[in-house]
């Protein structure tokens, strides 16, 4: 971590609270890719624990697929954002910012608690989506409209790939 950089936990908290400065810091810190992978892994474990009540296969699937999904989504957003909407980023920058954008997902660990489960299932996807929006916008250095278009096209590409692969 470079001098003056936030700690891993501070970065997770900053990303959870949607701090643009945190996303900018992570984007520019090439050494933060491992930290971003740790965020994805921690969230996958939290989601797996939270989903445990749905059965071990659900928990296992959530934990196993997270890293691959993260890398593919970052790649699709990178290709779409740079090639169609003039984004200026590397795949690594998107990988880092999108990894930290999953930080609110640590709360998935509480999803197995009946009174918290439904609110978390309603709130967390939206919260992570907003963090992902900020992550993509900051990494690609594009405006809100181009960010929305990048996400919509990337979702279309992702859906197409899921249909045929």
Q: What does the pLDDT read at residue 60?
A: 60
* pLDDT of amino acid 45: 85
- pLDDT tens digits in sequence order for the chain, 165 residues long: 555 678 999 999 999 999 999 999 999 999 999 999 999 989 988 887 877 655 556 656 666 688 889 999 999 999 999 999 999 999 999 999 999 999 999 999 998 888 998 999 999 999 999 999 999 999 999 999 999 999 999 999 999 998 988
Q: d(Cα 69, Cα 77) in Å, to the nearest integer?
A: 12
pLDDT for position 61: 67
What pLDDT is recorded for position 65?
Answer: 81
Question: Tokens 């279309």 label which residue?
Answer: 156
Domain boundaries, the chain: 8-159
Backbone angles phi, psi at 88, to 5 degrees: -120, 95
Q: Which of 1, 110, 100 is nearest to 50 (CA)?
A: 110
């Amino acid at each position: 971590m470079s001098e003056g950089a936030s700690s891993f936990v501070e970065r997770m908290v900053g990303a959870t609270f949607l701090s643009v400065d945190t996303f900018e810091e992570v984007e520019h810190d090439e050494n933060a890719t491992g930290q971003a992978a740790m965020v994805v892994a921690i969230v996958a474990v939290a989601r797996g624990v939270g989903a445990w009540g749905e059965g071990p296969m659900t928990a296992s699937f959530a934990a196993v697929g997270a890293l691959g999904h993260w890398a593919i989504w970052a790649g699709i957003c990178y290709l779409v954002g740079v090639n169609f909407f003039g984004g200026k980023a590397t795949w690594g920058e998107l990988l880092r910012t999108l990894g930290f954008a999953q930080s609110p997902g640590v709360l998935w660990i509480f999803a197995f608690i009946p009174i918290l489960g439904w609110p978390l299932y309603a709130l967390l996807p939206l919260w992570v989506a907003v963090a992902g929006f900020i992550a993509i916008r900051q990494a690609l250095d594009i405006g809100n409209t181009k960010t929305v278009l990048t996400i919509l096209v990337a979702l279309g590409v992702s859906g197409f790939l899921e249909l045929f692969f």
